[in-house]
Each structure stands twice: as C-alpha cells, then as structure tokens.
Structure 1
Amino acid sequence: MTDHPAIDASASAVAQLLGRAPDSDALSRATGEVATQADDLRALTRSLFVFRLRGEWLGLPAAIVDEVLEPRPIHSLPHRREGLVRGLVNVRGQLTVCVALESLLQIDAARADPERSAAGAASVLGRRLVVLSMQDQRLAFESDEVHGAHRYDPALVGEVPGTVALASAAFSTGVLAMQARSVGLLDDGLMLSAINRRLG
C-alpha cells in the first residue's frame, strides 16, 4: 500500500477521465473537423513550383522541374546576342541552354525586389539555377529566389488582373494567393513554344 494518498487520488481521477465515454457533441465536432481537414487535403490536387524573378512571384507545374542547383558559370554563345539566351551551363556534365526567363516575360528590371517577411525568410532559398525538363527538352534559368513545390486547390486560382504586363499575361493561366503573396501561374506549354520560336 502506497504512502502517498494524493498520488492515488490523482491516478484514480485520471483513470475515471480516460474511462469515461466522450460527450456526443464533442465527438461530433471532432469528427466534423477531421472530415473537413481530409476534404481540404483531397482538394490539393495540383503541385506548383514557386520562384521569384525580380519583383514577380511565379509558378510552374512542379512536374517539369528537374533540378534546383546552386548558381554556376554560364558560358555565352558566340554570335548570340539576343536577350533571351544567356548561354550554356554545365549540369552534371550535360551542356544545357540557359534562358533569361525575365526577358521572355518582360519583367521590369528596375522593379524593386519584394522584401522577405521574417516568417517567410527561412523557407525561401536565394538565387538558384532551375533546370526544367519539358517535352524531352531541357532548359535552365536563374531565379532570384525559390520557394519550392507546394500543393494547391485549382478552384482557388483567380483570374489574371488587368494590371499584369501584357507579356506576362500572355503566358499566365491565373493567380494564386499563397502566404500573403500573389503567385502568377505560368503555362509551360506556351512558354516552351515561345522559347523555341526565339531559339530557332
């Protein structure tokens, strides 16, 4: 027999609490919350790779992003002075064309970069080389920041606002609000076609 009746009393109270059937209203509320969370997760049917070019946060289908690497030397091509092509970059021994995506989208170079919030800074990577694999073709571009892949509900995608530059709007399929940012969703098919036309 124990010498601590207070401990015995506490243990008995805990046993009674654990043994008691849950209140039906509490059980119903908990079941509803779990079902809502499951529905919310099921709605996240698309995956988006989010990155920043100058002052614009943009997104591409995550499935086409092959690698995200530290920046590396870009070797310019002779007789190629067009703003779209930066040159060739060595990606694991394979020479890959590196394009200036901001040139294609005509994103204003003078536009200030958005400030990072203290909460978001930890989850954002600085300048990176992003390698895309689209329709058996590999391309790379440099992003100013990378926020990585995120799942989202396509029902939450809004229309492209009229304030977006015409060049960017031509490649955009919508806008998604994400962590206090507006992310422009890019059409990778249209983007690749435009790049190939200008490369040809």
Structure 2
Amino acid sequence: MNNDCWNKIGVEGDRSCEQLKTVIHCRNCPVYSAAGRSLLEREAPPEYVNEWTEILAKTPPVSSKTQVSGAIVPSPETASVMIFMLGGEWLAVPVGLLQEVTDPCIIHTLPHRNSELFMGLVNIRGEILMCVSLSHLLDLEDNANSSDSDSVSSLAAKRMIVVGSQENHWVFIVDEVCGIHRFPIRELQNTPVVISKATEAYTKGVIRWQGHKVNYLDSDLLFSTLNKRIL
C-alpha cells in the first residue's frame, strides 16, 4: 500500500501529521478509512480462497457446548457493547448497532420540528441523519444543557455516535466514548435507580467495567420510542 501515512507521520510514525490535532487517532481519518475499505473490497487471490475452502470443509460444526477433558462444558453466553459517558452516567449499547463515532458537527434545526428530544439534522459523511437528545430521553436533565448544546464551543470536547439498524439511524451527542467491552450475560445486574425512575425503563440492567457501574440500554425500546415520538 503506497499511502500508508499512518505508519510514517501518523500514530505509528513520528506523529507529525497536522490532521492528528483534529481526528486524534488515524482510525478517525478519512484517508485511513478509505484504505481500509479498499482492502475489504479487493478481490481475494485464488490461492487464498482455495486454502480457506479446504480449511472450512474440515472444520467440525460449532456447538453451543465445548468438549473439555472428556466433559461437556456449556460455553458462556456473552455480549459486546460500546461504553460511553453522558451527563455523568456510564451507558452502553450493543456494539452491533454502532455505525460510526465521529467528531461533532453542526446541527441544522428544522422549522416547527425541533423539541427537547429532536435536535435537528446532521450531515455524517454526506448522509443526512436525525440528531436526538439522549440525555432528555433518559431524564438526565441536570447535564442536558451542557451535553446537547449545538454550539461549536460546547461540542468541541464531545463525540457524536451513529447507532441504529438497517431501517433507522440516529445520532447522539455524548461526553466521552470509552471503548468496546465484552461481558457474560449472566453478570447483568438489576436496573439502576437513575434509569428505573424515568418515565419508561430504557435499560436491561447494569454491568461492571473498570470499577464503574454501566447502564446497559434496551436498544429495542429506545428505538421504538424514538420512532413513535419523532417519525
């Protein structure tokens, strides 16, 4: 690959790239993203396809149970989530719903359509998406003014996350994106007080992450409510 600038002037190089001041890490840069897409979209070499065809043909079917030292041991059911912070609360959504994490951009308000929940429209890589106030929906109103303002200065240190399914995509403003975490479903604890006191319970329970209690949101209920109240 000719334009592997991340290995030369990016995070893996001497960090002299001017874009790092804005994107923070090379993985948030359009050049890095374009290079990744080109690798995924290239045609696989014939020998590579043949080799993996033979490997998969010899691989036994995957079972929900694993054979260990002659005993059948059930495999733990796990889930992967993206953890973020908003209004002083640690929150998480299924990682499969995460479409993109990006720097904040201008929110364009719509006449007669804006409310405390629906903030307006944003342009994410040429796609027009709806931006909503997650803090308002979850009744985290103590920090809503600082979390959901669309001014350039107030958004500078925050992130926008794009989540959703094939039918709908939503954009939330969050204070901090903390990363991906995988946990056994059996470790899911009871619903936290801050969410259970809301008008509707938008959480499946609590998980532990680096000493913090993280509210694992019920994405089905979350998206269903947004569809009813906005669309």
Kept in 1, the 8 Å contact 2:101–2:161? The answer is: yes
Q: How does 1:159-198 map to 2 (within 5 A)?
A: 159-162=190-193, 164-167=195-198, 170-198=201-229
| Identity between Structure 1 and Structure 2 (%) | 36
Question: Which AA in structure 2 matches 1:56?
Answer: E
Aligned equivalents of 2:115 and 2:194: distance in 1?
A: 27
2:128 aligned to 95, 107, 112, which one?
A: 95
Tell me the secondary structure at the aligned position of residue 227 of structure 2: helix
TM-score, length-scaled by structure 1: 0.67
Task: Kindly indicate whether residue 172 of structure 2 is the aligned counterpart of residue 152 of structure 1.
Answer: no
Residues paired across the two proteins, number: 147
Matched residue type, 1:173? K
Which residue of 2 is the match for residue 81 of structure 1? 114
Correspondence for 2:85 among 49, 52, 77: 52
Which consecutive residues of structure 2, in runs of 5 or more, have no partner in the other structure? 1-67, 69-74, 147-156
- C-alpha separation between the residues in 2 aligned to 1:73 and 1:43? 43
The residue identity in structure 2 corresponding to 1:150 is H
In 1, are the aligned partners of 2:138 and 2:195 still within 8 Å (CA)?
A: no
Q: How far apart, CA to CA, are the structure 2 residues paired with 1:85 and 1:163?
A: 22
Give how far 1:155 is off: 1.1
Work out which of the residue numbers 161, 165, 172 in structure 2 matches 1:130: 161
Q: 2:81, 2:182 within 8 Å by CA — same for their partners in 1?
A: yes
Asked if 1 retains the 8 angstrom alpha-carbon contact of 2:107 and 2:121, the reply is yes
Which residue of structure 2 aligns with residue 28 of structure 1? none
Alignment deviations for residues 125-149 of structure 1 (CA, whole Å, 9 cap, x no partner): x511100122421111111011121
* Cα distance in 2 between the residues matched to 1:183 and 1:141: 17
* Residues 162/92 of structure 1: CA separation in 2 closer, same or farther (3 Å cut): closer
Residue of structure 1 in register with 2:9 after alignment: none
Evaluate the alpha carbon distance shift between residue 144 and residue 163 of structure 1 in structure 2; reply closer, same or farther with a 3 A threshold: closer
8 Å Cα contact 1:176-1:184 kept in structure 2: yes
Aligned-pair CA distance for 1:169: 6.3
Name the counterpart of 1:62.
95
8 Å Cα contact 2:195/2:201 also seen in 1: no
Following superposition, the deviation at residue 108 of structure 1 comes to: 2.9
Deviation track 1:33-55 (CA, whole Å, cap 9, x = no partner) reads: xx9xxxxxx64721011011111
Query: Do 2:114 and 2:120's aligned partners in 1 also have CA atoms closer than 8 Å?
Result: no
Q: CA offset at residue 162 of structure 1?
A: 4.0
Any unmatched runs of 5+ in structure 1? 1-34, 36-41, 114-125
Q: In structure 1, what residue type is equivalent to 2:188? A: V
